Amino acid sequence: MFFFYKFLSLIIYPFLNIFLRIRILTKKEDKIRFKEKLGHPSLATKPNLIWFHVASLGEIKSIHSIIKYYQKNKELNILITSVTTSSSNYFDENLKSHNTFHQYAPIDNPIIIERFLNFWNPKLSIFVESEIWPNMIFQTSKKCKLILLNARISKNSFKKWKFFKNIFKKIMNKFEFILPQSNEVLKILEFFDLKKIKFIGNIKYTNIDKNFSNKLEISNNKNSWAAMSIHYGEVDYIIQAHKNISANHPGLLTFLIPRHLNKIVDIVNKIEKENLPYLKISNDNRINNFHGIVIIDKYGLADEIFNNVRIVFMGGSFIDHGGQNPIEPLKYDCKILTGKNIYNFTEIYNELINKKIAKIVNDQSSLEKELISYIKDYDKDTLDQDNLDYKEFSNKIFKNTIEFLDNYIL
């Protein structure tokens, strides 16, 4: 099967340049740097190079603290490759330095991969999460040692790979070591009889650097909470919770952060029908002595909100969506509430619930009860202790990850 994949990759090679240029026209590619995806560098080669390969924004965020740690070693050069423009922008804003560089990832084609590897000549390659590209894996493993960090294999992927067990095993055996992000992934890897596995924990917990830049001016944030990544089918729950709580506890400030921005007009109509005060952040970034619902109708402001609240409800969990990743608000010492539909992040939530950092609320009434308890009555010292527990947990994963990688990098 790999032979046919490689053969097909070679056949389509002459058309890849055309394909990327078409994507430029649809604004899906960087019109200046798109040739990096063909293995043509836009930087000079660097000695003593460690290569981190990620897919997109979430993965580059997950290695933030690890990159910051190795940047301190002046003898190392670090190359990060990724696929998306959002991850490139994140790199420019947060990780770019004199010894850390970004290139768009080479397309999984034998000719392109060979060109890329011959130019950069990494002494160690670290792929992050679920980047299983056969040509890239096979060719890189011949060049240097290769590690799969924070490996993630979804249930759907597992179902597919079970029918190609030997092929999957052959690909994964090219990694020097595989570090799964959860016990669930560990069990999947063990199903394929893979031996070079070490479970440390999910490195997404290790990115505890705060990334807010005071884009908002918020003065009255004492009795406030945030509803994050709210799907349209959950909007009524958030509005009614605010209405019911504020009836008995005046001064409530609710930040409503929609998952998608194409329903803002409909959300406003729902709030107006309930005669509730509201404002849109696109109209005013100063929230002074305002009590009501603040609609976050611009992207990139979630960190600002997390820095000003203590309680965050994660959306996609009152409906059958599977929940949203709670790690971002944890960096800001927020307590997490979620509905029961969290199957996309089951292991993460189970860990947080066991540590009493997160709690499941089954319905709107339960949400209201918990919000009243946390906002008005929750003991600050207890909440701070929970946050200290999380930071200790995060630091342990970071320490163990660095100790493992040091065996190969130093």
Question: Would you list the domain boundaries of the chain?
Answer: 2-199, 217-391
Residue recorded with tokens 């009524």: 236
Distance CA 57, CA 125 (A): 19
| pLDDT, one tens digit for every residue, the chain (410 residues) | 777 888 889 999 999 999 999 999 988 899 999 999 999 999 999 999 999 999 988 899 999 999 999 999 999 999 999 999 989 999 999 999 999 999 999 999 999 999 999 999 999 999 999 778 999 999 999 999 999 999 999 888 898 899 999 999 999 999 999 999 988 899 999 999 999 999 999 998 887 777 777 778 887 667 899 999 999 999 999 999 999 999 988 889 999 999 999 999 999 999 999 999 999 999 988 888 899 999 999 988 999 999 989 899 999 999 999 999 898 898 888 999 999 999 888 888 988 898 888 999 999 999 999 999 887 665 454 555 556 677 788 899 999 999 999 999 98
- Domain 2-199 shares a fold with domain 217-391: yes
Contact assessment for residue 80 and residue 60, using Cβ atoms and an 8 Å cutoff: yes
Distance CA 254, CA 278 (A): 9
To which H or E segment does residue 148 belong?
strand 145-151
Task: Tell me the H-state helices in 249-378.
Answer: 264-273, 302-306, 327-330, 346-354, 364-372
Distance CA 118, CA 52 (A): 16
Residue recorded with tokens 């929970």: 386
| Number of C-beta neighbours around residue 153 at 10 A | 22
Instruction: Give residues with Cβ within 8 angstroms of 113, minimum separation 6.
Output: 39, 106, 135, 136, 139, 140
Strand order in the sheet with 145-151: 100-104, 77-82, 49-53, 124-128, 145-151, 177-180
Nearest CA among 260, 252, 242, 253 for reference residue 297: 260
Distance CA 44, CA 230 (A): 44
> For domain 2-199, which CATH number applies: 3.40.50.11720, 3.10.20.90, 3.30.2350.10, 3.40.1190.20?
3.40.50.11720
Query: Which pLDDT does position 193 carry in this prediction?
Result: 94
Buried b / exposed e along 123-134 (16+ C-beta atoms within 10 A): bbbbbbbbbbbb
CATH number of the structural domain 217-391: 3.40.50.2000
Instruction: Give residues with Cβ within 8 angstroms of 156, minimum separation 6.
Output: none
Q: How are beta strands 278-280 and 177-180 bridged, if at all?
A: unpaired
- Which tokens is 251 given? 């001064």
Cα→Cα distances 265→90, 94, 237, 269, 379, Å: 30, 34, 17, 6, 38
